[in-house]
């Protein structure tokens, strides 16, 4: 599977510390009382009171309150880790996934990679032109045949998450597909900028079964797209 642009971004620890943590040995789970919560755009840092003493842990952005008891599963130790977002260095921090009852609560929070589906479906948008033109539903429904091929999709931007893995993550819809089975909403990654409400033509490469780390997987997306408004 060709994932060169994403794989390169994942390798950059500053942009994606969870991806770097994946290469570290796991120590199992860490449980404790939350003494301090520090939120940045994509991650939540937790200072925990554990049986072994205080420890710092980090999970993908979640709603965690001070005083709660949490478990961080698949914890990977990261010594001398510097968070540029926080402007501080940790002698030791453990990156993992929020487990237990807290994981269910986290599931209701917006995904930092923008995978939560917008509720409303947009009206019909005129299809792009050209040999590689596809509707949103055609890309999602035909992803196996289109894998690693170039497509151009024209649609309305309904959600934007910026600066994740060095990319801007856009949700675009064109009125095709169905919200009931999530065939109406396509994720596009790009280094270019667009705002919610913009109608854009996005030309990029179809990728399937994309795993970008920290538990985030995508059945299909259009990668490294160029945009025309």
Q: Which fold has domain 133-228?
A: OB fold (Dihydrolipoamide Acetyltransferase, E2P) (2.40.50)
Report the distance separating Cα 28 and Cα 74, nearest Å: 5
DSSP reduced 3-state for 64: coil
Residue 213 has pLDDT above 80, yes or no: no
Q: What is the pLDDT of residues 12-64, one digit of tens each?
A: 333 445 544 444 444 578 999 999 999 886 788 999 999 999 999 988 777 78
**Cα angle at 135 between 208 and 203, to 5 degrees?**
65
Residue 208 has pLDDT above 50, yes or no: yes
**Domains 4-107 and 133-228 agree in fold:** yes
Write down the mean pLDDT value for the chain.
79
Task: Label the pairing between strands 167-173 and 150-164.
Answer: antiparallel
The CB density around residue 99, as the number of other CB atoms within 10 Å, is 18
Q: How is residue 177 annotated by DSSP?
A: S
Instruction: Give me the residue spans of the domains in the chain.
Output: 4-107, 133-228
The H or E element spanning position 126 is none
Reported pTM: 0.54
221 — pLDDT class (breaks 50, 70, 90): very high
Q: How is residue 174 annotated by DSSP?
A: -
CB-CB contact of 174 with 153 (8 Å): yes
* Distances in whole angstroms, Cα of residue 162 to Cα of each of 4, 125, 135: 20, 24, 24
Helix residue ranges, H only, the chain: 4-10, 17-21, 101-107, 136-141, 143-146
Superfamily of domain 4-107: Nucleic acid-binding proteins (2.40.50.140)
């Amino acid at each position: 599977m060709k994932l060169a642009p994403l794989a390169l971004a994942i390798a950059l620890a500053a942009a994606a510390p969870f991806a770097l943590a994946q290469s570290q040995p796991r120590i199992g789970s860490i449980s404790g009382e939350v003494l301090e919560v520090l939120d940045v755009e994509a991650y939540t840092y937790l200072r925990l009171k554990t049986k072994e003493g205080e420890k710092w842990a980090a999970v993908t952005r979640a709603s965690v309150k001070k005083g709660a008891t949490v478990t961080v599963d698949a914890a990977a130790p990261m010594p001398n880790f510097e968070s540029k977002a926080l402007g501080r260095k940790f002698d030791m921090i453990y990156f993992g996934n929020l487990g237990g009852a807290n994981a269910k609560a986290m599931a209701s929070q917006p995904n930092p990679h923008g995978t939560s589906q917008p509720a409303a479906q947009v009206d019909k948008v005129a299809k792009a032109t050209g040999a590689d033109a596809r509707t949103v539903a055609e890309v999602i429904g035909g992803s196996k045949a289109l894998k690693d091929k170039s497509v151009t999709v024209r649609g309305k931007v309904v959600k934007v998450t910026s600066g994740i893995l060095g990319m801007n993550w856009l949700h675009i819809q064109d009125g095709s597909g169905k919200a009931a089975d999530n065939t109406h909403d396509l994720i596009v990654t790009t280094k270019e900028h667009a705002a919610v409400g913009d109608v854009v033509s996005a030309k990029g490469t179809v990728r399937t079964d994309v795993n970008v780390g920290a538990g985030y997987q995508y059945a299909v997306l259009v990668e490294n797209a160029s945009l025309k408004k």
